[in-house]
Amino acid sequence: MTLEICLACGAEGLRHFHEEPSVPAHSCLLLSSRDEAANYPRGRIDLGFCAACGFISNTAFDASLNEYSPKYEETQAYSARFQKFARDLARSWVADYDLYDRSVLEIGCGKGEFLVMMCEEGAGRGIGIDPGTRPERIDSPAADRLTWIQDLYSDRYGFILTDAVVSRHTLEHIAPVGDMLTTIRRSIDNRMDTVVLFELPDVRRVLDEIAFWDIYYEHCSYFSAGSMARAFRTAGFDVVDLDLAFDDQYLLLAARPSASTPREPVSPLEDDLEALSDSVDHFEKGYRDTVVHWREMLRSNRAAGGRTVIWGAGSKGVSFLSAMGDGDDIEYAVDINPHKHDMYMAGTGQRIVAPEFLTEYQPDLVIAMNPVYLDEIGYKLRSLGVEAKLVSL
**What DSSP letter does each residue of 187-208 carry, written as one string?**
HHTT-TT-EEEEEEEBHHHHHH
Residue-wise pLDDT for 92-128, tens only, equals 999 999 999 999 999 999 999 999 999 999 999 999 9
Helix (H, G, I), strand (E, B) or coil at 129: strand
Determine the Cα–Cα distance for residues 91 and 128; give it in Å rounded to an integer: 18
Mean pLDDT of 85-94: 98
Q: What is the pLDDT of residue 386?
A: 98
Domain 307-392 has CATH 3.40.1000.10: no
Q: What is the DSSP letter of 265?
A: P
66 or 274, which is more confident:
274
Is the separation of the CB atoms in 369 and 320 below 8 Å?
Answer: yes
Is the separation of the CB atoms in 266 and 242 below 8 Å?
Answer: yes
| Nearest residue to 175 via CA among 6, 314, 18 | 6
For a pLDDT cut of 90, what percent of the chain falls above it? 90
Determine the Cα–Cα distance for residues 130 and 71; give it in Å rounded to an integer: 12
Q: At what angle do helices 225-234 and 177-188 cross, to 10 degrees?
A: 50
Q: What is the pLDDT of residue 69?
A: 81
Determine the Cα–Cα distance for residues 267 and 229; give it in Å rounded to an integer: 10
The DSSP H or E segment spanning 167 is strand 164-168
Determine the Cα–Cα distance for residues 162 and 195; give it in Å rounded to an integer: 9
- Whether residue 2 is predicted with pLDDT greater than 70 in this model: the reply is no
Residue-wise pLDDT for 245-257, tens only, equals 999 999 999 999 9
Backbone angles phi, psi at 173, to 5 degrees: -95, 0
Mean pLDDT of 80-97: 97
Residue-wise pLDDT for 365-390, tens only, equals 999 999 999 999 999 999 999 999 99
Strand partners, 174: none
- Whether residue 77 is predicted with pLDDT greater than 70 in this model: the reply is yes
Residue-wise pLDDT for 207-219, tens only, equals 999 999 999 999 9
Angstrom CA distances, 219 to 58, 107, 377, stand at 8, 16, 26
Q: What is the pLDDT of residue 328?
A: 80
The DSSP H or E segment spanning 279 is helix 273-303
Q: What is the pLDDT of residue 326?
A: 66
Determine the Cα–Cα distance for residues 159 and 147; give it in Å rounded to an integer: 15
Q: What is the pLDDT of residue 246?
A: 97
Q: What is the pLDDT of residue 3?
A: 61
Tell how strand 365-368 and strand 164-168 pair up.
unpaired
Mean pLDDT of 290-313: 97
Domains of the chain: which residue ranges? 307-392
Is the separation of the CB atoms in 108 and 130 below 8 Å?
Answer: yes
Determine whether 156 is exposed, middle or buried from the number of CB atoms within 10 Å of its CB (0-12, 13-18, 19+). Answer: exposed
| Nearest residue to 119 via CA among 98, 91, 139, 96 | 91
Q: What is the pLDDT of residue 259?
A: 83
CB atoms within 10 A of CB 284: 17
For a pLDDT cut of 70, what percent of the chain falls above it? 98
Note the pTM of the prediction, 2 decimals. Answer: 0.95
Q: What is the pLDDT of residue 265?
A: 83
- Whether residue 1 is predicted with pLDDT greater than 60 in this model: the reply is no
257-281 burial code (b ≥16 CB/10 A, e <16): bbeeebeebbeebbebbeebeebbe
Q: What is the pLDDT of residue 224?
A: 98
User: Per-residue confidence at 72, pLDDT binned at 50, 70, 90?
Assistant: confident
Strand partners, 241: 254
Instruction: Tell me the H-state helices in 41-104.
Output: 80-96
Backbone angles phi, psi at 343, to 5 degrees: -95, -175
Determine whether 190 is exposed, middle or buried from the number of CB atoms within 10 Å of its CB (0-12, 13-18, 19+). Answer: exposed
Q: Contacts by 335-338 with C-beta closer than 8 Å and gap 24+?
A: 335/311, 336/78, 336/79, 336/380, 337/73, 337/75, 337/78, 337/313, 338/78
User: Per-residue confidence at 262, pLDDT binned at 50, 70, 90?
Assistant: low
Is the separation of the CB atoms in 172 and 222 below 8 Å?
Answer: yes
- Whether residue 226 is predicted with pLDDT greater than 60 in this model: the reply is yes
| Nearest residue to 201 via CA among 76, 23, 60, 26 | 76
